[in-house]
Chains A and B, each alone.
Chain A
Amino acid sequence: MSSNKYLFTVLGVLLLSVSAIMNANAQPLTLHSLDDLPELKRSMGYVLVGVDNGNTDAFLTVRRLESDGRTPRRSRGKLVFEQPAYRMDLSGREAGFYLLAIPAGLYQITQVSYPYFDLPFRLSTKDQKEWRFHVEEDKTNYIGQLVVANERSRSTLDVNLLNRLATQWDQIRTDYQSLLAEFPLVSGAGSRDDFLEHFSAE
């Protein structure tokens, strides 16, 4: 084994170990249906997310960001993450809408994991704006449709968080009418999106 290969192997083992430790310490973010929805505590909001996990065992690592509204704070150009890390497990979830009850703030999905036998399965989304979402206190924050393609390649995953507010509007309005009456729907997109505001305006 050449020295370079050895170095990569050691680094790989170390990185996997760090990743494994982080995932092991991550707090679970539980996906709820409307029937088992917990009450909101102070300074919390609901997240409404459409999930189509393609019958995979995918899970996400989510971190809250230090921020001013939808603008994340940066230190030396890097995002500043708060503790702890969260793990959102999608395995065994049927396609549909789910709710989370979490503290208000700006969040970053930092990693998408999709275990499949011995293939590399981590997709880093650490500083990607399209993997960010915003939670407003006492509101139902629609953050998008999370689509994990069942079919994948050996080296890439097909995973997207799509802003499908209008596409899913009819279903959201029908299925979550009572929730939205108490906790109004807002856009939880990571970047500014005025559509709902315009559409809802009288």
Chain B
Amino acid sequence: MMRISLLILLLYLPHNNAAASPSQADAFFVNPDMTLATLAPSGEQIASISYRDGYQKLSVTHIASGESVTLLDLSQMSEGDAVVSAVEWIDDTQLAVQYQEILDGVDRLVDTKLISYMLVVQLPTAVQVEPRLLRLRTKGQLVSALPAEDNAFLYAKSGVKSRIYKINTSQLSEASARLGKLDKVDGGQFIARNQVASVDGFAIRWFLDVDGTPKASLTVHRGGIVKLSELGDDGEFESIKEWDRLADDDEEADPLAEMVPILMAAEPNSYYCFSYNKDERNAVYKVDFSSETKALVYQNDTYEIQNLILTPDKDEVIGVRVLRDGGLHNVYLGNTSEDSQRVSNTQTIDITLDRSSDGSRLLQYRESHSQPGTYWLTNAETGDEQRIGANFPGLVDQLDSQLIEGSVLVEGLEIPYLLTLPVAASTTAVPLVVMPHGGPIGVFDDRYFDAPTQYLAANGYAVLRVNFRGSSGYTSELREAGKLQWGKLMLTDIHTATSAVIARDDIDASRVCAFGASYGGYAALMLAIKHPDTYRCASSLAGVADLNLFIETPYASAAQRKWLRENVGDSQESFDELKSLSPVYLADELSQPVQIMHGADDTVVDVEHAHRLRLMLNKAGKTHEFNIFEDEGHRLDDLDTRQRFFSMLTEFLAAEIGVAPTR
């Protein structure tokens, strides 16, 4: 009897631990479980990457049996920063894996050395019970895994002349093998017989069609000239665009001066591009090089984009891989629309990530505002579906907030907003958290899963997110209208939307608090200062408190300074006006309780902002809560700190505007 009880207890405990209560911060602010999945050509196996204790693990799961095998465990391979940046099936038994490891510098040198090489992982068989690791020793890059062809892939070598070779995996040696003097590196396969394409110049990127046929290349030449060339009918590459990278970029003279092609789009002469001169790579454009026009596809203010995620036909962008929380994570964009400046008008992301070579099985990804990302295997013939993984398994089917979209007119401009209602709103008026986004120009809040919003909703709060002027994702008119409006019409937009929302029966207008990070923190403070009758409290994380101090930040580059002057204000010409819009100098007008949080090592908004506000609030005798997070920057990268912060936020909200029943 004792044994049976123990067994029941053991069975119960892991399940109970895994399913954290969905109102706790540690359920929302964690590394995602599954971050990448790809279907074998036969459709019978799935390779996926998940995070375990901060390290990536590459596994393959046999769909019919459900058996899973770990192929690579990065915690066993590296003590430092190692990531698998790409995984592609070569055939049903082999995977091409791009492995990257950052080696620390010596002594006080932080010069890190990036080691990047390709591994071929051969799956275990009845004979070979452990996975077999082969390593390509020739420096270069994988350009196509040729999934339609067994044992072969395309690999590019760059030099004065760059070439693509077809490489056979059977001639590669084990990753752990030491080659003798007589051994041929990579089986001596980099020879003319195996050459598939060549181009003059150092190729930094090749563009292939879905069959693996090279179609275009991006090459660097002597004197800093970069060329985008397409393969002509005569079999030669012809340049369609050139850049002089040593010359100063002049956007007025060449609107495409900063564009770097990353992916060939379906339309002729069109490419998805990153912006070259951005200090942080956080925007994707679709560029037509024949008409010299570009359209913004995606931008965020928080994470650096590392790569694009493509449709199975490899011609459309469906997502981006971003560097977040020290790892690579996927962000899917939802359905694209005709006008790429506009956000998708669907409330659910439902996209096909991959399909088997005969098209009978599909790997799909779904996400909605209250459902974090899930991966599904679908039988295209029968329609049968099977969930095979999730970003946050503990939150799947646990959240049931409601998303309402609306808009208000402010000085003739339509300002869209997203209102998330907790379950309790169906029976009682609930407190509201107004949550302006950071950035603020060129970013926007979308309809899909947002952890802070869902965390607050799970704790009984309605959440209002306003895409105020300056936000991207809607129209260029909305985005452009944000210039020099930090403390002005941006705030009017947010407050007008708040006024519309608190008129609803399901919102308790007497219990409204503003919370935001970065610009959002600034906006939260200013809303409480300007409209104390509406906002009963304000919480600012890494918020700007002194606009002149922010504009004069020593951390900014020359390009960033120019941007700050043009978009926030010029502290030489408009010092007094900027001062009059700064919470530090308005502290005596702040009559509501305030929570100030800041990372001590923030290099975007220096911690000095928080201390200035603290001193001025102390001087004015105003109530406030003050917390500095040591060793943290602008984004609270450490997940424990982020969990602690959000717990403190909900404690503050509960004290100031109460809570609604969560169920």
Contacts and interface: CB of A to CB of B under 8 A. Distances in A.
Contacts of B571: 191-192
Given A129-B552, A167-B607, A152 B108 contact: yes
B619 A154 contact: no
Contacts of A129: 552
A152 B112 CA distance: 10
Interface in A134-164: 150-154, 160-164
Contacts of B611: 164, 166-167, 169
A58 to B, nearest CB: 12
Nearest to A129: B552
B608 A162 contact: yes
B368 to A, nearest CB: 43
A194 interface: yes
Interface in B576-625: 579, 584-585, 606-608, 611-612, 614-616, 619
A153 B111 contact: yes
Contact of A130 (B546, B552, B607, B608): B552
B109 interface: yes
B621 to A, nearest CB: 14
A192 B571 CA distance: 9
Contacts of B553: 130
Contact of B108 (A150, A192, A198): A150
A199 B619 contact: yes
B108 A116 contact: yes
Contacts of B552: 129-130, 163, 191
A31 interface: no
Nearest to A167: B611
A175 interface: no
B110 interface: yes
A29 interface: no
Interface in B520-578: 546, 548-549, 552-555, 571-572, 575
A160 B554 CA distance: 7
Nearest to A169: B615
Contact of A199 (B109, B606, B608, B616): B616
Contact of B608 (A153, A164, A198): A164
B616 A154 contact: no
B109 A163 contact: no
Given A116-B108, A154-B111, A162 B616 contact: no
Contact of A152 (B110, B608, B615, B616): B110
A195 to B, nearest CB: 6
Interface residues of B, number: 27
B554 A130 contact: yes
A131 B607 CA distance: 19
B554 A162 contact: yes
Contacts of B549: 163, 193, 195
B223 interface: no
Contacts of B614: 166
B105 interface: yes
Interface in A172-202: 191-195, 198-199
Contacts of B548: 192-194
A67 to B, nearest CB: 15
Given A154-B111, A195-B546, A198-B616, A166 B554 contact: no
A61 B150 CA distance: 64
A72 to B, nearest CB: 13
Contacts of A123: none
A26 interface: no
A116 B108 CA distance: 9
A165 interface: yes
B109 A152 contact: yes
Nearest to A131: B554
Interface string A88-103: 0000000000000000
B110 A198 contact: no
Interface centre among B552, B553, B585, B606 (most CB of A within 10 A): B552
Contacts of A198: 584-585, 616
Contact of A160 (B555, B579, B615): B555
Interface string A111-138: 0000010000000000001110000000
Given A162-B554, A167-B608, A199 B615 contact: yes
B96 to A, nearest CB: 32
B477 to A, nearest CB: 34
Nearest to B576: A194
A131 to B, nearest CB: 8
B80 to A, nearest CB: 15
A153 B110 contact: yes
Nearest to A149: B110
Contacts of B579: 194
A73 B196 CA distance: 63
B108 A151 contact: yes
Contact of B612 (A150, A152, A166): A166
B555 A195 contact: no
Contacts of A164: 606, 608, 611
Contacts of B105: 151, 153
Contacts of A192: 548, 571, 575
A113 to B, nearest CB: 16
Contacts of A191: 552, 571-572
Interface string B214-234: 000000000000000000000
Interface of B: 105, 108-111, 546, 548-549, 552-555, 571-572, 575, 579, 584-585, 606-608, 611-612, 614-616, 619
Interface of A: 116, 129-131, 150-154, 160-167, 169, 191-195, 198-199
Given A130-B552, A152-B109, A164-B611, 19 more contacts: A130-B553, A131-B554, A151-B110, A152-B108, A153-B109, A153-B111, A154-B109, A164-B606, A165-B608, A165-B612, A166-B608, A166-B614, A167-B607, A191-B571, A192-B575, A193-B548, A194-B585, A195-B612, A199-B615
Which 6 A-B residue pairs are closest in the complex by CB-CB distance? A166-B611, A130-B554, A166-B612, A151-B110, A167-B611, A153-B111
28 contacts: A116-B108, A129-B552, A130-B553, A152-B108, A152-B109, A153-B110, A153-B111, A161-B554, A162-B606, A163-B549, A163-B552, A163-B554, A166-B611, A166-B615, A167-B607, A169-B611, A169-B615, A191-B552, A191-B572, A192-B548, A192-B571, A192-B575, A193-B549, A194-B585, A195-B546, A195-B584, A198-B585, A199-B616
